[in-house]
């Protein structure tokens, strides 16, 4: 299970075999069945996770009861409520498995241990945080400047394999539009082809 995690780490930083083994030993494997939750709103997120199998959605339910998907996490993606994890406060998010999934989890205590004992791990998380900030900034700009039609086309082009694993309702919640509006967009695109 840790081979995919090791490769992900080595894509960002260089570690010795001993350093990478010591870091990976801090994770524990958790299986999450389809439709089950890794985290619910109101719980404190006590982990950062790395998805080794399956697919998760990270979402919030607004005051009107609508789901707003922040992101989907498939194999080789990191997952957490970073606000809840960092500040040890109740989460505003749900993390739910969309397929039978497996995730490697690290606790805050073990992550701090890694920072103190394997200094390069701080660099790893700095790099990953920067990449996350860039992705969030780009998504915010797209949401403010692009039409729903453009955002949908961008999504299927950027994530063609992920797109095939999701329902229209889930994609609509990610794009911030209704399922009905997404159906209209899809019909319009189909007519153009």
Whole-structure pTM value: 0.92
Classify each residue of 175-186 as buried b or exposed e, where b means 16 or more C-beta atoms within 10 Å of its C-beta: bebeeeebeebe
Question: E strands within the chain?
Answer: 28-32, 37-39, 48-53, 55-61, 67-74, 78-79, 94-97, 101-106
User: What domains appear along the chain, each with residue ranges and CATH number?
Assistant: 2-120 (2.60.120.10)
| pLDDT values of the chain reduced to their tens digit, one per residue, 193 residues | 789 999 999 999 999 999 999 999 999 999 999 999 999 999 999 999 999 999 999 999 999 999 999 999 999 999 999 999 999 999 999 999 999 999 999 999 999 999 999 999 999 999 999 999 999 999 999 999 999 999 999 999 999 889 889 999 999 999 999 889 998 888 888 777 6
């Amino acid at each position: 299970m840790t081979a995919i995690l090791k490769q992900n780490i080595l894509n960002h930083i260089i570690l010795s075999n001993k350093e990478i083994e010591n870091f990976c030993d801090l994770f524990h494997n958790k299986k999450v069945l389809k439709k089950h939750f890794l985290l619910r709103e109101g719980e404190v997120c006590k982990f950062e996770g790395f998805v080794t199998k399956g697919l998760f959605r990270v979402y919030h339910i607004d005051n009107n009861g609508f789901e707003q998907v922040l992101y989907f996490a498939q194999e080789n993606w990191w997952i957490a409520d970073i606000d809840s994890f960092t500040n040890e406060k109740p989460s505003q998010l749900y993390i739910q498995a969309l397929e039978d999934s497996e995730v490697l989890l690290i606790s805050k205590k073990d992550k701090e241990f890694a920072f103190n004992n394997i200094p390069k791990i701080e660099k790893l998380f700095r790099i990953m945080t920067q990449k996350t900030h860039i992705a969030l900034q780009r998504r915010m700009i797209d949401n403010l400047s692009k039409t729903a039609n453009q955002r949908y086309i961008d999504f299927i082009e950027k994530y063609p394999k992920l797109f095939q694993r999701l329902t229209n309702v889930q994609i609509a919640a990610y794009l911030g539009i209704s399922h009905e509006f997404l159906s209209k967009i899809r019909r319009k695109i189909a007519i153009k082809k």
